[in-house]
Amino acid sequence: MRLIAALLTATLLVMTPCASFASAVDDANAGMDALNAGDYAKAVQLFARALHSKQLSSADAESAYVERGKAYLGEHANKLAVADFDHALKLNPDDQEVATLRAQAQDTSDTSAGATNSERDGTEDASTAAAAKPHFEAGYTDWQKGDYADAEEQLKQGLILDPYNAAANYYYADCLVRRGDIPDAVLPLRLAVQYGGDSPEGQMARDAAVQLAPRLAPVQGVAMGCAAPIAPPVVDGATTSRRDIIEARDRMTIYMNASDRFQSCIQNGLENARNQAAQRGYTLDPRLEQKYLGQNVLNNQNKQMVSAQFSSARDEYNAAHERSQIP
């Protein structure tokens, strides 16, 4: 309960209107409520928004990192939990409770990583991800300091090596938006939405898509604030490795889930537009409806294409590797 106590104290001290600070406090308190209720995904999002505002005091920021780390543990995202506990320890190196939590999360993370690698039937080549990591870390540090030009360059170099990193795509897109390059920000923003899922960066990417939608045409990939998914690359099943074909299957699954979310988002947006039009006494322009419904038609066609491409690649792989079949 230490987070709530700290933040409530801060609230009592703020007697003058300060909407951004109050919003950060409210988000953090709501995050604690969600954490206590076992709604870990919602807790992560609320703590992320509070921390992203940069309006929390040092003590409250430390508590927010700790509690978000606990929420990550609840989501079995142990590596992210370790990162949050590291942030908290930088703010308060003497916090033994956090040091203990970090050690426990690290132990579990190492065990999980070993299980994942053994499931993949061999040592996973993480050389590109390892090479990208210093760029991502430097870029995120620059982004936090407000050095967006340097952050953009570091993140871009990292994304060349590891193009599907959701967090890096979001922060890179944010850098581009801040310097007014909206068209170039659309692609990384869509990737952040697609691969970010319910992570903080995934949620922030969805929020950014909603904010940018009025400035974008549907053909640019963001319609009604809904980010259209991007088809994963095609692999050559006859020559690819087992690890690569499994990663291709994982990317296809992510793509299919993102496609379903996009279609639902478009439909909800249309229903809201129709309701708003009806409340104002007119019917929504059918040309506008067709423009957005056309996005769903294209989305379904792309889903069929991606599914067929992966099935073909999998069949080619299975034919070439009779002893290592992929379902």
Lowest mean pLDDT among 99-113, 186-200, 242-256: 99-113
Total number of domains constituting the chain: 3
Q: Do residues 107 and 146 share a domain?
A: no
Q: Do residues 71 and 141 share a domain?
A: no
Percent of the chain with pLDDT over 70: 85
Model confidence band, residue 178 (pLDDT cutoffs 50, 70, 90): very high
Q: Cα 137 to chain center, whole Å?
A: 16
- The rounded distance, in Å, linking the Cα atoms of 320 and 107 is 38
pLDDT, residue 54, reads 76
Cα angle 243, 244, 245 (rounded to 5 degrees) comes to 95
Q: Which two tokens stand for residue 306?
A: 């991606």
How high does pLDDT run on average in the chain? 81
Q: Do residues 81 and 185 share a domain?
A: no
Q: Do residues 109 and 130 share a domain?
A: no
- Position 22 pLDDT exceeds 60: no
Q: 29-83, pLDDT tens digit by residue?
A: 888 988 888 777 677 767 877 887 778 888 888 999 999 889 878 766 677 788 8
pLDDT, residue 184, reads 87
Look at residues 222, 251, 271 and tell me which one is the last residue of a structural domain: 222
Q: Do residues 189 and 89 share a domain?
A: no
Q: Do residues 130 and 184 share a domain?
A: yes
Q: Do residues 159 and 209 share a domain?
A: yes
Q: Do residues 143 and 235 share a domain?
A: no
DSSP 189-240: HHHHHHHHTTSHHHHHHHHHHHHHGGGS-GGGTEETTEEPP-PPPP--TTT-
Contact (CB, 8 A) for 156 and 130: no
H-helix or E-strand spanning residue 302: helix 286-320
Q: 110-152, pLDDT tens digit by residue?
A: 544 443 343 333 333 456 778 888 999 999 999 999 999 999 9
Contact (CB, 8 A) for 201 and 83: no
Compute CA distances 194 → 18, 46, 111, 216, 244, whole Å: 34, 20, 27, 18, 19
- Position 17 pLDDT exceeds 70: no
Neighbour tally for 242: CB within 10 Å: 15
The boundaries of the domain holding residue 200 are: 120-222
Percent of the chain with pLDDT over 90: 28
- The rounded distance, in Å, linking the Cα atoms of 275 and 288 is 14
Q: 251-272, pLDDT tens digit by residue?
A: 999 999 999 999 998 888 888 8
Q: In sequence order, what are the residues at sequence separation of 6 or more whose Cβ sits closer than 8 angstroms to the Cβ of residue 63? A: 2, 3, 6, 7, 28, 88
CATH number, domain containing residue 83: 1.25.40.10
